[in-house]
Structures are given as structure tokens and as C-alpha cells.
Chains A and B, each alone.
Chain A
Amino acid sequence: MNYFTLPLEEWTNRFVDDWLLPVTGEFFDSVSDGLRTFVDGVTDLLIAAPPELLVLILIIISWKFSGKGLALFALLGSLYLGSVDLWEAAMQTVAIVIVSTLISIIIGIPLGVLAATNKTMASIVRPILDFMQTLPSFVYLIPAILLFGLGNVPAVIATFVFATPPAVRMTTLGIQQVPADVVEASKAFGSTKWQLLYKVQLPLALPSIMAGINQTMMLALSMAVIASMIGAPGLGSVVLEGISTVNVGLGLTGGLGIVVLAIIMDRITQGLARKNKK
């Protein structure tokens, strides 16, 4: 089928080497520094804090947002992580997930609002989201390394890119699903755009937005694991080590740790979404 040759690979490399890195390198360096301080700070905090205190807080949150069952599961899961000596690795993963989820929310929700209220914005945002979601997650890793080096910073960036689309989409969906007559009523009584947004549209879109945050967090966890391939510390690197040394036991202990985190994060954010629906 090669009727002609498309040197996309060469073009891309030349673009990156000749323009992207020399011109924007400084900018990315400063972003990288800021982000590193943030992620490292959160990681250090989680590791330095007494695990018993963190587990207690986790149990209370689980109980409040989900119920007794999850609280018990959180206790047992924490005991497991401690007993296989993966507590520190788990905290490193949690730090990456929390930081990247926060960035996804801070950028994703306003973007979702814009896309819901502005047609031009929607037609720009939608194809970008489609692109982000269909691109295999591994592909993100390469530019992330190029621009941000190795470690947890590119991990956060790749995770952010991978996990943001549901936050944007579910916010847009939630706002578009607010009944037209309710929006009309708000306008008819003389609401400004802002008043319409924060008194009517956002409160009514909240269940949908919370569901988006739940999905974002789950995607963030899966990406944080994959990001171990670019040197992100945490449970992912444990599994990676298990794979590369053909150590099935190590792979299993690390994998179970990820499952424990996934279940707890999922149930807590789901509980949050349910609470907002009522």
C-alpha cells in the first residue's frame, strides 16, 4: 500500500529537537520544578505521617461516605499493605493519583462548563478529548519524558492528560442535562450568567460531575501504575520489577495492593456522588 512515503516520524523528531525543546524547554523546566515540589511534598507528607493516623482517617472517611463494609475493608487492606511491606509504595502511588486528580479537576471542570455553554468551545474541546481518550496510554509517556524527564513529574503529567477527559465530559453532560425550563426560569427572573451557573446549573449538575471525578480518579490510578515505566515510584514499579525479574510472587503482592487502593478510592468517590444526588 505504500504509494508514497510519509516521513511523519522524521518530521516529529525534527520538530521536537529543533523547536520544541530549545524554545519551550525553559518553560517546561519551571513547570516541572513547581510540580515536583508539589508531588514530593504530598508524598513526603503521606510517608512521614504515622500510618496508624492515616488509616484512622481513611476508616472514618470510608464509613462516612460509603459505610461499615468499606471501613472494615479499608482496615484489612491497610493491614495487608503493611504486612507485605508495601505501605510506602502505596503512599507514593496515592500521592501521584491525588495530585493528578486535583489538577484534572481544577482544569477539567471549568473546561467542561465552557464546552457546555459555548458552541465554539465545544467544537474545539470535543475532538481534543476524543484524541486524548483514543490514543494508547503508552504513547503519552514518550513526550512526557522528553519534556519533564524521569520520575513522578512526567507521571503526574501523563496521568493528568489521560484522566482529564471524563471530568470535562461529565461536567458538560451534567450541565446540558439541566432541564431547559429550569434554565429559562432562572433567566426570566433576571439571573446573570454567573448566577445561573452557580445557583442553578452547577448544583444540578453535581451528581454527574461527581461521577466524572470518580472516573477520573480510577483512570488516574491505572495510569499511575503504567507510569512506573518512566520511573514513577510506587506500586506500579513493584509490579514492573516482578515482571522484569519473573518474580510472580512480587507481581501478585504489588497487584493486590493496587486492587486494594482501587476499591477504596472507587467506593469513596461513588459514595460522594450518591450523597450529592439526594
Chain B
Amino acid sequence: MKKIEVNNLTKIFGSHPQQGLKRLMNGEQKENILAETGMTVGVNQASFSVEAGEFFVIMGLSGSGKSTLIRLVNRLIEPTSGEVLIDGQNIVEMGKNELIETRRKKLGMVFQQFGLFPHRTVLQNVAYGLEIQGVKKEERNKRAQKSIEDVGLHGYENSYPKELSGGMQQRVGLARALANDSDILLMDEAFSALDPLIRKEMQDELLNLQNKLGKTILFITHDLDEALKLGDRIAIMKNGEIVQVGTADEILENPANEYVSNFVKDVDRSKVLMASHVMKKPAVHMAEKSGALAAVRKMEDAGASSIFVVDKDNNFKGLLTIDNAINAYKSDLPIETVLIEDIHEISPETPLNDLFGVAVEAKYPLAVVENGKLLGIVSRVSILSGLVLGKKEVTTP
């Protein structure tokens, strides 16, 4: 079900927005409109939709219109034209009371500079949304208390915002948005003002909360890494227009135009790529049943000095080196007894970033294992080439 649907949403700042709109509809460039009329096209015919429970990220550089766009969604800024459907209802056409009601019940918002009320305690800040709805003090404090605990601020209820660090202040901002129990969270560069370590922590916690509470999140950022990490789908904005919407994979692999591909080029691949992207099919593997001599022959064929061993259901057993295989053959031992079993097992979702340390210390390639089955192997070479070449080149043989 579509939670938010935005159709042809346009915002023109200036004295005669309708004239500007006419020019825009006639296909005039926004630079032209600015030069001739002095009006700025903030958002230009943006359309996208967000499914219930989806984490949707809008990513763009400063001046791309992303902060304007999110404010059009809850009408903190009045749209010039177009429609915004929240649960199927067009917020652009709502009367004053209906708009206030929609903001109260359906839309929570988190701000870049936190937007906390400095004259109110943490508890009073978090309870604000309920307070203005006329919820009784006891009830609203109870609900505020719960969302304060959800964001891990237990014990700070009676502090004032200025007594807290930036990260903690943004937790208050998040708790305030959660306390209303609205389905939709609008987050405007919510983590951009935080330092990198705190930002990462908040991102992880937001993902956890999202899993637990199933909110629909519209998240604005200028940080592509953040967008790729958080977003189920990502919209890339440039000059007030949405240039591409897609999953992280789609955007990385098929950039819609040069602008997007220039962007994506600079992505820190180690954060985006996972073990499954760089792993290779094990060069050789064999059922345990066949003997040591067969194993030696397979190693010879593959030009390798070791080989991963699996049973007939592809369950991972261990690593057999050529020395051990020859010893086993000479002493007529079954190969199970000479397998090296303390091989590093990694899951296909392990980010490349986390593989560096492991790969440096491991003597043998890493085994990518899921549910006990061997999916592939990752060698040091494939980690490096994955970084250099990106996912596409690695996965296609």
C-alpha cells in the first residue's frame, strides 16, 4: 500500500509563482526563469511514492531542493502545484484544521538542527505533540516516557536540551517524533549535524527501531554512503528534479545519467560491497567420499595447493591442503581426519570493510558459508579487486 504519493510536485519561490509555473510548463529552463523573473524553482515536478514500512531516502547535494521537498510533504512550505497524497488524501487541498489533524496523527518530523524547545525538559519536549492534542498529562507523560526509553535516554527526562550532547539531543528529537505514534517519520538531514561515530551509531539504532516499529520513513541526506546504508530505495535529486529512483544496487549498477554515475564513482565501495559480491565459486570441491588421490588430482588440475571440502549436500566440512592429502594417501587415512576445520567462515552479507582484518591474518582463503552450506570463497586478491573494480566487474566472469 502506498503511504506517501507525490505527483508532479513543484515549488517556485518568488513574487509570481503562477507565472513561473507557466514558463516551467512551457519547457523553459529554470536558469532562464531565474535570470528573467528572479524566481527560483525549488522543486521541479517531483514524483515518487513510498510504500508502507519502506525506508525511502532522498539524496542530493545542498541546493538540490531536498529540504524544500520534505517540507512540501507536510506543507511547512506551500506547494505551487502538484499533489501529495498521505494515505490517499491530498494534503495540498486540505483545510487548516484537516492539515493540523494530519500533522498530529500521521506525520512525525526530525530536524537537522534538532529543533528542540530550549525552555522545556526532555520529557516535556517529547510530550509536546501529545500535549497540543490535549492528551491528559498522566497519559502523555507515560507515552513520552516509553519513547524516551526506546531511544535509550532513560534517566534524562528532567534535563534541558542544552545540557545534552548533540547525539543525545537528536535522540530527543527522534523520541518526540515517535511519541505521537504516527506511521510516517519525516527526517530532514537528521544525522548530518552529528560527528561520524555518533552518526553511525544513530543510523544503526534507527534501522533497529525501523525493524521493531515498522514506520514508513522519508529520510533526507546529502551523504551517499548514508543513503546506501539506510535506504530500501533511494531518490537522487539534482537542481530540484528527481533524476533517479531505485534500490542501492540499481543505482550503483545502472546510473541513470552522468550526474548519478559521477556520484556513485566516489562511493566508498568497501562499505557497499559485501562478501557475496566479491566471492568466487570455489575452484574445486568434492564429496568427502572420494579419496585423497582424487583430491590431489583435482588440485593439480586447478593449479591450487588446497581445496575446500563439502559433502554431497554442499555442507561445508573444511579445507584440505596438498601436503595433508599426500600424507593421508601414504598412511591410508580417510581425508576427514586431516581436514583443517578452523577456517574463517563469513556470511555473504559481511561488508568488505570488515574483511580486511580477517583476510590479513588468515593463511587460507575465507569460506562464505550460509546455513552450513559453502557458497563461495573470498581470497585476498578478490577483496582488493572488488575495491578497485566494483561489484559488476567482479561478479560477471
Task: Tell me if B109 is interfacial: C-beta within 8 Å of chain A.
Answer: yes
CB–CB B117/A200 < 8 A? yes
CB–CB A188/B109 < 8 A? yes
CB–CB A182/B100 < 8 A? no
Q: Give the contacting residue for A184; candidates B101, B105, B115; CB below 8 A.
A: B115
CB–CB B132/A185 < 8 A? no
CB–CB B132/A189 < 8 A? yes
Add 17 more A-B contacts to A185-B109, A189-B180, A203-B119 (CB < 8 A). Answer: A179-B113, A179-B115, A181-B113, A181-B115, A182-B117, A184-B76, A185-B117, A186-B117, A186-B128, A188-B76, A188-B103, A189-B104, A190-B101, A190-B104, A191-B100, A195-B132, A200-B117
Residues of B within 8 A of A191 (CB): 100, 132
Q: Give CA–CA (A212, B129) in the complex, Å.
A: 31
A-facing mask of B88-106, CB < 8 A → 1, else 0?
0000000000001111110
The distance from the CB of A119 to the nearest CB of chain B, in whole angstroms, is: 13
Q: Give CA–CA (A189, B76) in the complex, Å.
A: 11
Given A182-B118, A185-B116, A185-B117, also A190-B111 (CB < 8 A): no
Given A184-B76, A185-B109, also A190-B129 (CB < 8 A): yes
Q: Which bucket holds chain A's interface residue count?
A: 10 to 19
CB–CB B114/A181 < 8 A? yes
Count of chain B residues with Cβ under 8 Å from any Cβ of A? 29
The distance from the CB of A141 to the nearest CB of chain B, in whole angstroms, is: 42
Of the candidates B74, B132, B180, the one having the most CB atoms from chain A within 10 angstroms of its own CB is B132
Task: Tell me the total A-B contact number using a CB cutoff of 8 A.
Answer: 62
Residues of A within 8 A of B109 (CB): 185, 188-189
Residues of A within 8 A of B186 (CB): 188
The distance from the CB of B25 to the nearest CB of chain A, in whole angstroms, is: 29
Q: Give the contacting residue for B129; candidates A179, A182, A189; CB below 8 A.
A: A189
Q: Which residues of A contact B (CB under 8 A)?
A: 179, 181-182, 184-192, 195, 199-200, 203-204
Residues of A within 8 A of B117 (CB): 182, 185-186, 200, 204
The distance from the CB of A74 to the nearest CB of chain B, in whole angstroms, is: 31
Q: Give CA–CA (A112, B158) in the complex, Å.
A: 32
A-facing mask of B291-310, CB < 8 A → 1, else 0?
00000000000000000000
Task: Tell me if B107 is interfacial: C-beta within 8 Å of chain A.
Answer: yes
* 21 A-B pairs (CB sep. < 8 Å): A181-B112, A182-B117, A185-B109, A185-B111, A185-B115, A185-B116, A185-B117, A186-B128, A187-B103, A188-B76, A188-B109, A189-B104, A189-B108, A189-B109, A190-B102, A190-B129, A192-B100, A199-B132, A200-B117, A203-B119, A204-B119
Q: Give CA–CA (A200, B107) in the complex, Å.
A: 20
Of the candidates A184, A200, A204, the one having the most CB atoms from chain B within 10 angstroms of its own CB is A184
Residues of B within 8 A of A199 (CB): 128, 131-132
Task: Tell me if B133 is interfacial: C-beta within 8 Å of chain A.
Answer: yes
A-facing mask of B120-150, CB < 8 A → 1, else 0?
0000000011011100000000000000000
Q: Give the contacting residue for A190; candidates B103, B113, B114; CB below 8 A.
A: B103
Residues of A within 8 A of B101 (CB): 190
Q: Give CA–CA (A203, B133) in the complex, Å.
A: 19
CB–CB B111/A184 < 8 A? yes
Closest Cβ neighbor of A192 among chain B residues: B100
Residues of B within 8 A of A179 (CB): 113, 115
Q: Give the contacting residue for A188; candidates B74, B112, B118, B131; CB below 8 A.
A: B74
The distance from the CB of A192 to the nearest CB of chain B, in whole angstroms, is: 6
Closest Cβ neighbor of A187 among chain B residues: B76
The distance from the CB of A7 to the nearest CB of chain B, in whole angstroms, is: 42
Q: Give CA–CA (A187, B115) in the complex, Å.
A: 11
Q: Give CA–CA (A190, B103) in the complex, Å.
A: 5
Q: Give CA–CA (A187, B101) in the complex, Å.
A: 11
Top 10 A-B residue pairs of the complex, sorted by shortest distance between their CB atoms: A190-B104, A185-B115, A190-B103, A181-B115, A188-B109, A189-B129, A190-B100, A181-B113, A203-B119, A195-B132
